[in-house]
Structure 1
Amino acid sequence: MIAALAFYFFAAILIASAVMVVSSRNPVHSVLFLILAFFNAAALFLIAGAEFLAMILVIVYVGAVAVLFLFVVMMLDIDFARLREGFQRYAPVGAVVGAILFLELLLVLGSWTFADQSAELRLSPNPGGDVTNAMAIGRILYTDYVYLFQASGLILLVAMIGAIVLTHRKSTASRRQNIGAQVSRSGSVLLEKVPSGAGIGTLGIRRPPVAEVEKPAVTHDAGHGGHH
């Protein structure tokens, strides 16, 4: 009973969050509702007994993808008025695409049936002992499929390096210090060995003579300088 109530509670919040993701006008709010939807989906996985999928959903999607989306949306200078300008013009095309996707979902749900061995697989015993789902998946992943796991890691590494190389741009406006040219001083500074005790005269360096300031001539008034 408690598990059923928890399932309906988290499912209702998940559906409401998904609706708010596509209907919110602010992209930042959409990303926040997306994070809320991921947390509720992880709770549903925990109720279903798939704790490995719940951990992956929280660690990978909430901890990396959703946070990346949030930082990108917040750092971009988005002109919301310009984005809404072509809404009426592209609304018919969007409605047609949405109707096609809705019909495809109806066809998939209409032709979907349970497998013959689904009940037996559902009631199949656990690996045994205190082995959890995450431990069982880890044993299979790192034993039978370890090479495929390493190959997927290398593919992600190459994709990350390619993204960095494609987005890296060298700035020509910034000025950098060339330490090698600064230390070598080739052709700019003449270095000479000065003997001990030698002055500037020995090296042929003469100071320019200081020009003497001419003193004003003293004149005596003839009418006041004589004796009567």
Structure 2
Amino acid sequence: MNATSALFYLFSAVLLVSAFLVITSRSTVHAALYLVLTFFNAACIWMLLKAEFLSITLVLVYVGAVMVLFLFVVMMLDINTDSLRAGFWSHFPLAALVGVLIAIEVALVMKAGFNLPEAKPMAPEVLAMGNTKALGVVLYTEYLYPLQVAAVLLLVGMIAAIALTLRKRKDAKGQDPSQQVRVRPADRVRLVKLAPTIEAPSVPKTPEGGQA
């Protein structure tokens, strides 16, 4: 066993253990930190497979952005997870059985891809342009249609999430830009002449005919 194989088994073991701790940890913050450890080990495995771009993208996007945002939300909301975890261990055997069946099905589907007699050598021009550029060329040429389909699905999912979480509050105040555009000067200021509600007091007159 060489050093690459030893590192692969090490990162894989830590990844499996940390992934298991994500779903069994009592603290939500600890579960998020275990998930960060899982992402780091997955990035290390991709680095061993010479997929540097995917490895760095996993660390920057998921660890540097998504998980940090998730930790901020968890710490600010202070969600009580005791009620959410009620009955976890009673349903764990069934959930573990379903997870094992899914893993076996995925392994059977992907088994054909690992039975290659030898790896297909990369073209010299691809090796010269680098890993990241080669991935971009293949992604936007051979896999352009699946990429567009995935982009549309993500857009639909984002719009659906916004539509499901958008709620109109009765106490919320807002402005209607269309009414602001159609406003007229006469609607802004209106001069109204009102009759006095209290009569002005009369001024008494002096004997000379003038006013006091």
Residue deviations 1:41-99 (CA, integer Å, cap 9, x gap): 101110121223323422443345434543443344422332344346xx0x4313323
> Identity of aligned pairs, percent?
39
Partner of 1:27: 28
Residue 127 in 1 paired to residue 123 in 2?
yes
Corresponding letter in the other structure for 1:140: V
8 Å contact kept, 1:11–1:44:
yes
CA contact (8 A) 1:39 1:58 kept: yes
Give the SS at the match of 1:118.
coil
The residue number in structure 2 matching 1:50 is: 51
Residue 137 of structure 1: aligned partner: 135
Q: CA deviation at 1:209?
A: 3.6
Provide the rounded CA distance (Å) in 2 between the counterparts of 1:182 and 1:173: 29
Give the C-alpha shift of residue 112 in structure 1: 8.5
Moved more, 67-76 or 109-118: 109-118
- How far apart are residue 207 of structure 1 and its match? 8.2
Instruction: State the aligned residue count.
Output: 193
Worse-matched range after superposition: 30-39 or 159-168: 159-168
Q: Which segments of 5 or more consecutive residues in structure 2 lack a partner in the other structure?
A: 205-212
SS in 1 for 2:32: helix
Give the conservation status (yes or no) of the 8 Å contact 2:28–2:81.
no
Cα-to-partner distance string for 1:91-113 (whole Å, 9 max, x where unaligned) = 0x431332354366568769986
Aligned to 1:83, the other structure's residue is in SS state coil
Distance 1:11 1:84, change over 3 A: closer
Larger Rg: 1
- Whether 2:154 is the aligned partner of 1:156: answer yes
Note closer, same or farther for the CA distance 1:25–1:136 as it changes in structure 2 (3 Å cut). same
Q: Which moved more, 1:136-145 or 1:125-134?
A: 125-134
Counterpart selection for 1:165 from 148, 163, 176: 163
Structure 1 residue aligned with 2:87: 86
Post-superposition offset of 1:172: 1.3
Q: How does 1:56-75 map to 2 (within 5 A)?
A: 56-75=57-76
Q: Who is 1:219 aligned against?
A: none
Tell me the C-alpha RMSD between the 2 structures: 4.0
Measure the CA separation in 2 of the matches of 1:82 and 1:142: 47
What secondary structure is seen at the aligned counterpart in 2 of 1:137?
Answer: helix
Segment drifting more, 62-71 vs 150-159: 62-71
TM-score (norm 1): 0.63
Q: Is the 8 A contact 1:45 1:53 kept in 2?
A: yes
Q: Is 42-51 or 10-19 further displaced after alignment?
A: 10-19
In 1, distance between residues paired with 2:13 and 2:113?
28
In 2, are the aligned partners of 1:127 and 1:136 still within 8 Å (CA)? no
Higher mean C-alpha deviation, range 24-33 or range 10-19: 10-19
